[in-house]
Amino acid sequence: MARRIIGSTPKLDGFRMPAEFEPQSEIFMIWPEYTGNWRLGAKPAQAAYTNVATAISEFEKVTMLVSARQFEHCRAMLPNHIRVVETTSDDAWCRDTGPTFLVNDNGERRAVDWKFNAWGGLVDGLLPSWDHDDLIARKICEITDTDSYRTDNFVLEGGSIHTDGEGTVLTTKMCLLSQGRNPHMSQEQIENMLCEYLGCEKTLWLTDGIDPDETNGHVDDVACFIRPAEICCIDTDDVNHPFYEAAKKAQQELALMTDAKGRKLKIHKLCCTKKTVLMENAETIDNRFSAKPRTTGELCIASYCNFLICNGAIIVPQYDDENDALALSQISDMFPDRTVVGVPTREIVYGGGNIHCITQQVPKI
């Protein structure tokens, strides 16, 4: 059963997006292969994804989606207990192309299949084509037998939202009001869409993300709910750090907000890398006529906040940076009941995201 639900919304039907810290049944990922985005034929990225998937799989079931071309190689690279299912994709960002799973109070699961246009479509999108990626959510719904709602007139990526599971959605204006997403809609209309499709009551709008060029400022590099009314937000006191301004501004904005239940938010600060992470050997990425090329030395959006919360653990990016250990320790303090696992992911940040961007959780029912 993977029906399309027509003529209703999740909210009308009593469904809500649970918070990431609620119990999960499975994590989906997509095997990196696109040599127009990944260095050296995507081989270093495949090794990094393997490490991430393996780390998660110590705590929770993992399914890796992979093209027919890479099926045998991917199957051979991953541990046996990770499931590998053939699925064609344009690139490997399951947070953004996968479905947003929902639950209701009767223990049922549904999903939202958002229209996907590669982070900005013809305005400032990042892929030459995204027809395969726009089918990823549907295909995951088929694999998991999940009924879904499709938003044919509303573009969204999962990395641009976080929820607290209790009626609040957190996002950024930089992304959701961008010209490449839903320029036909007002902020209020977008807020209504979020609330209808995530089963929420209130939208908290940060102004900016830290990644204006690629994702147009996805919130998942800046802040996330760690439990109801408590938020992790990036922080640095280095005024020369490229994320300094956005971090301080986000903290100030969060300090003035209340959630859907009227609670003020407790903010937990999470460090940034000491050194910026800069692109290396961009010449090993395939040339593309259709997109702005990556260049050696350009700033990569290396945030420790792009971690995944899974059952019993937090899987955290590590950048071979002086602050790696501090980040792990701060996150451990935020999640005293979970194991915090660092995974080296410089190669993934070279591709434009990190652990949260490449994973998608299926809530437990």
| Residue 199 to residue 16: CA distance in whole angstroms | 4
| Residue 39 to residue 353: CA distance in whole angstroms | 14
Based on CB atoms, which residue is closest to its own copies, 78 or 233?
78
Q: Please tell me whether residue 282 binds its own copies under the rule CB under 8 A.
A: no
Based on CB atoms, which residue is closest to its own copies, 139 or 294?
139
Q: Please tell me whether residue 73 binds its own copies under the rule CB under 8 A.
A: no
Q: Which residues are the active-site residues?
A: 357
Q: Please tell me whether residue 135 binds its own copies under the rule CB under 8 A.
A: yes
**CA separation, residue 361 to residues 73, 113, 306 (Å):** 24, 14, 14
Closest CA to 216 of 296, 126, 346, 100: 126
Q: What are phi and psi of 199, to 5 degrees?
A: 65, 40
Decide: helix, strand or coil at residue 85.
strand
Q: Please tell me whether residue 2 binds its own copies under the rule CB under 8 A.
A: yes
**CA separation, residue 193 to residues 112, 345, 362 (Å):** 12, 34, 21
Q: What are phi and psi of 245, to 5 degrees?
A: -65, -45
Minimum separation from the CB atom of position 58 to its own copies (A): 14
Q: Please tell me whether residue 150 binds its own copies under the rule CB under 8 A.
A: no
Q: Please tell me whether residue 128 binds its own copies under the rule CB under 8 A.
A: no
What character string, x for contact with its own copies (CB under 8 A) and - otherwise, covers 84-113?
xxxxx-------------------------
Decide: helix, strand or coil at residue 152.
strand
Based on CB atoms, which residue is closest to its own copies, 66 or 316?
66
Among 12-20, 75-83, 103-111, 121-129, the segment contacting its own copies (CB under 8 A):
75-83
Q: Please tell me whether residue 320 binds its own copies under the rule CB under 8 A.
A: no
Residues at the contact surface with its own copies, assessed by CB under 8 A: 1-4, 68, 71-72, 75, 80-81, 83-88, 132, 135, 138-139, 142-143, 145
